[in-house]
Chain A
Amino acid sequence: MIGTLLLQTLALAIPYVLAALGGVFSERGGVINIALEGMLLTGAFFAALGAHAGGTTLGLVAAVGASAALAGLHGLLCVRFRADHVAAGLGINLLASGLTRFLLMACFDSASNSPMLPGMGQGVLASPMLWGTIILVALSHVALARTPFGLRLRAAGEHPQAAHSLGVPVDRVKICGVIASGALAGLGGAFLALDNHQFTAEMSAGRGYIALAAVIFGKWRPVPVAAACLLFAFADALQIELQAVLSGYKQFVQILPYALTLAVLAGFIGRSRPPAALGAR
C-alpha cells in the first residue's frame, strides 16, 4: 500500500515537476506563465504524434520542439509586443486546446484520442524520465545560480532597466527563459502521453495550473518547487488510493490541491515574494 502510494506519487509528480521547472525559468525572467497548461498539452500531443511515427525518442524530440515553439510565441507576445502576460497565456492555452484537437482530427481522424503508443520501460522507477527529471532539477538550480545566463535572467526579472543599461539583451534573455519553460513543460507533457500509452483530448486537465501553484509555493526556486510538486502529487496519489473508501465524497479529496494552493496564496502557509518585475511590460 505505502509502496504503491509512493510509486504513484513519483509518477504523478514528473509532469508537475517538469512543468513547474519551466514556470521557474519563465517567471524568474519576469514573464508570468499561465500557459504551462497549454504547453503540457502540446507536448503530450506531439509526443504521441512523434512516437506514433517513429518511436519514443522522436516523440520526445517532437514534444520538446513543438512546446518550445509555442512558448516562443508566448515570449514574443509578452516581451516584444508588450502584451499582458495573463491574457496572452490564456490565449496560448486556448490555441493549444484547439490546435491539438484539430490535429487529432486531421492526423488520427478522432475527436477524443490517439491510437495506442509504445511506452517507456516498466514502472516509474525504470523510466529514464524519472532520473532525467531529477537531473533537470539539479541542473536548473545550477543554471540559475551559477551561470551568466542565470544571473542575467534573474536580473531581467528583478530590474530589467538595470540589466538593459549594462548592455544585457534583456528581451532576448527573457524570451530564452520562456522557451526553456516550453521545452521543460513539453517534456512533462510527453511523459503524460507516453505514460498513458495514448494522447487523449485535454489530457493536461489543469496540471499546468497546479504546476504554477507549485512555483509560487516553492518561492520560485527549483529545489523547493520540486518539493512542492511532490507534495501536490502525494495529495493526488492519496486521493486515488482513498477513492475506494470515500466513493461518494471523492470530490472533496479532489479539491485538496486547489484549496492548499489558495491557502498558500493567501499567506496562511508562509509567504512568498515574487520576482520584483514579474508581469512588467
Chain B
Amino acid sequence: MRELVAPALAIAVCVLVGNLLILAVGQQPLEVWSVLAAGTWGNGYGIGQVLFKATPLALAGLSVAIALNAGLFNIGAEGQLSLGALATAVVGLALPRSTPWPLALFAAIGAGVIAGAVVGAIPGVLKARFGAHEVIGTIMLNFIVLALINWLVAPGRLAQPESQSTAPVIAAATIPRLSSFVPALGGSAASLAALLAVAVAWLTHFGFRRTTLGYELVAFGLRPAAAEAGGIRAGRVIVVAMALSGGVAGLVGANNVLGYKHYFEAGFSGGIGFMGLAVALLGRNHPLGILLAALLFGTLSQGALAINGVVPKELIDVLQAIVILAVVAASSDVLRRGTR
C-alpha cells in the first residue's frame, strides 16, 4: 500500500493545481474534467487514442527505468529515439517489396533498437572510461544527434524532394492498427505496438528478477562501491545499462515510424523522451506501475485535445509537469542514486 502513497499524492496535487488554473481562466473545473473524461475514456475512439499515446510513453518510461535501476539517469531518450526512428525508416524503405512481414518487421525494428542502443552506449562509455557524468553527457549528445539528423534528413540526402521526411516504408514492415481487429476502437491510431509495450514491460521485469545481469545492474545501482568490491565490473554495467535503455528508447522511434507515420519526419517526438522520466517515477520504477502511469499520461495528453475548446491545451503540459514535481518530491526513495 505504501507504494501507492506517492503516486496518489502526486495526482491529488495535480488536480488541485489544475482546478486553480481552470478557475484562473474563468472556467468551471468540473466541466473541464468531464469534457476531458468524455474525450478519452468516453468512447471507443477515445480509448484507442489513449492507448496510442500511452504506447510510446510506456516504452520511454521503461527505457528510463532500466537505466535508473542501474543507478544511471538516461535523459538522452530524445536523441536515442530519433536516431532509432530514422534507422527504422531507412531500413524499412530499403527492403524489397516482396519481403515477408515477419522478416520486414524484425529488420526494421531491429535497426531502430540498435541505433538507439548505440546512441545510449556513447555516454555510457564516456562515463565508464572517462568519468563524464551521464546526465550532462546524454543532454549534450541529444543536441549533437538531433543536429546530425537535421543534416541527414534533407532533400538530396535521406529526405524526399522539397520535404523534411523520408519515403514511406514498405507495407510489410508496418504494424497493423488495433482497430482493424477491434472495430469498436473507431479508427483510432492505436496499433499492435501497444502489445509490444506490454511485452517489453514483462521482459524488463523478468530480466531484473531472474537474470544474473539484472542482479548485477540493481546491485551496482544501489551500492556501486560494494558491487565493485564484489567483482561486478562497473564499466560493463554502465555501458550495458545505457545501451539497453537506449535500445528501448529506439523502440519508441520504431513504433512511431512503423505503427503510425510509416515514414520518418524530423522533430516528431515532442519531448516524449523527457516524459519517460515522469512515467518511470510515477510508476515507481516498476514495470506494471509504468504501464499504468503511461495510461494516465496518455489520458492527459489525449484529453488536452478534447478540452482545447474550453481552456488552452497547454494546461495539460503544466499539469504533467506538476505531476512530475510532486512525484519527485514524494519519491526520493526511488531515486536513491549516488555514492552512499
Hey, which bits of chain A sit against chain B, CB under 8 A? 34, 73, 77, 81-84, 86-88, 90-95, 97-99, 101-102, 104-106, 206, 209, 212-213, 216, 248-249, 251-252, 254-255, 258-259, 261-262, 265-268, 279-281
Contacts and interface: CB of A to CB of B under 8 A. Distances in A.
Interface in B152-189: 154
25 contacts: A77-B328, A81-B332, A82-B332, A84-B332, A86-B135, A90-B277, A92-B321, A93-B274, A94-B274, A94-B317, A94-B324, A95-B324, A98-B316, A98-B321, A99-B318, A102-B314, A102-B318, A209-B139, A251-B150, A259-B144, A261-B140, A262-B141, A265-B136, A267-B130, A279-B338
Nearest 10 pairs between A and B by C-beta? Answer: A98-B317, A95-B321, A84-B335, A266-B130, A105-B312, A102-B314, A91-B324, A94-B321, A265-B132, A98-B318
A88 B325 contact: yes
A265 B140 CA distance: 10
A99 B20 CA distance: 13
Contacts of B25: 106
A132 B141 CA distance: 33
B332 A262 contact: no
Contact of A81 (B75, B271, B329): B329
Nearest to A249: B151
Contacts of A95: 318, 321-322, 324-325
Interface of B: 21, 24-25, 73, 75, 126, 129-133, 135-137, 139-141, 143-144, 147-148, 150-151, 154, 271, 274, 277-278, 281, 312, 314-322, 324-325, 328-330, 332, 335, 337-338
A251 B335 contact: no
B126 A106 contact: no
A262 B324 contact: no
Given A81-B332, A105-B312, 5 more contacts: A87-B277, A87-B281, A90-B274, A258-B141, A262-B141
Contact of A267 (B24, B132, B148): B132
Given A90-B277, A92-B325, A102-B315, A266 B332 contact: no
Contact of A258 (B130, B140, B271): B140
A251 B321 CA distance: 31
Contact of B144 (A98, A104, A258): A258
Nearest to A253: B147
Contacts of B21: 102
A189 to B, nearest CB: 18
B338 to A, nearest CB: 7
A273 to B, nearest CB: 11
Contacts of B148: 251, 255
B312 A255 contact: no
A90 B335 CA distance: 14
A258 B138 CA distance: 11
B75 A102 contact: no
A262 B140 CA distance: 7
B144 A94 contact: no
B320 A98 contact: yes
A225 to B, nearest CB: 15
B135 A106 contact: no
Given A262-B126, A262-B141, A281-B332, A102 B150 contact: no
A259 B126 CA distance: 12
A238 to B, nearest CB: 16
